[in-house]
Amino acid sequence: MLNEPKGCAAIPFEKKKIAVFGAGGYLGSTVFGFLQRAGSIYGTGISGLSSPRALAATSTSAEALNKVLASSFKLAYAGEDLIRLIDTSDVDHIIERVRSYDAAVLGTTYQLEKRAVTLNSYEKTPNDKTYDFYLDEKYGAWENDVPSDDSEYHVQLFMNAVQACLESGTIRHLVVIETPRTYDPQVFVNILEEAGIPYTYIRVKGTLIKDISFSFDKGVKDSLAISQYRAGTIYPIDAEVYENERPIYREDVAALVVQSLMSLDWQESRILEVSSSPNSLKNFVPDSKSRIDRDWCVGSQLLAQSLGEQTVSFGQLREMGMATER
């Protein structure tokens, strides 16, 4: 069967629970929203019971998440049962909040914002401060007095999250989004390789933009072009090539994350390079007979098709000695 799913949608009655790190960021919130919709529809293999779970450092992220859900997902809402605050410096603390979950979505370098630790969470004194972390950014975040994007803080945060997922004993697959802030992607890939958890690493070849009027019923804007790298090795994207690429919508990347969980084998690792398709789509306008309530994302089948048709990247060809320089 063409594009038959190999991920969680392959056995839809075995519903999988997904955790999202940095869900207060716009991209993280949109991933959460799509997961929440997918969990309400049979056939996706994604659980809607205590899932998805938003992981953040302070209650600021919960407020930001619910703003996105309310505006983009028809007044959807994440209650306290779906949100957990974590001390990102404490692996054991993270483990307790991802245990019993089957997969997790992470970013590489998050946007940081210095905030007071939420009372009755993990504070030691009433004046404790921490860095909330957003995938990939929260509009209006105050970025003064935070570690720079090339700081070791980001590497340690990522390492702690991956280690917690590994030691949870239940996480079987990670989906990692390379954010535009990422200074050295290979560092994060190395952490994944050393941990040994199968992963899907998504890097976007082009500027990320936002559809300011986005609603889930508009569907995807771009079917996306996807190339695959061998897991463990990542090649730098030439700055000139990057600047010449067409922009990619954050909403399409979020939908791709969810579709990859459904379509791709969780037992394998891969690096996906994503760029805009030569044939971008027009906004979906449902007719009177359309039942968008049956779709977690309108047009998601196009993303499933793109994942099924992923090509070997130039870097992979070069590695195999099959590419020629121009």
Residue predicted with more confidence, 122 or 319: 122
Residue-wise pLDDT for 191-225, tens only, equals 999 999 999 999 999 999 999 999 988 889 998 99
Three-state DSSP at 21 gives strand
- List all residues 6 or more positions away from 199 whose beta carbon is below 8 Å from its beta carbon: 173, 174, 175, 176, 192, 231, 269, 270
- Supply 49's token pair: 């019971």
pLDDT reported for residue 311: 57
Please check the confidence at residue 317 and state whether its pLDDT lies above 60: no
Residue-wise pLDDT for 119-168, tens only, equals 999 999 989 999 999 999 998 999 999 999 999 999 999 999 999 999 99
Residue predicted with more confidence, 54 or 232: 54
Please check the confidence at residue 286 and state whether its pLDDT lies above 90: no
| C-alpha gyration radius of the chain | 19
Burial 236-275 (b: 16+ CB within 10 A, else e): ebeeeeeeeeeebbbbbbbbbbbbbbbbbebeebbbbbbb
| Residue 3 Rama label (left phi>0; alpha psi -120 to 50; beta) | left
pLDDT reported for residue 242: 64
pTM, rounded to two decimals: 0.91
pLDDT reported for residue 217: 87
The answer to whether the Cα torsion of 273, 279, 281, 282 is positive or negative is positive
Lowest-pLDDT range of 13-27, 62-76, 147-161, 220-234: 220-234
For residues 151 and 185, give the distance between their C-alpha atoms in angstroms, rounded to a whole number: 13
pLDDT over 90 percentage in the chain: 77
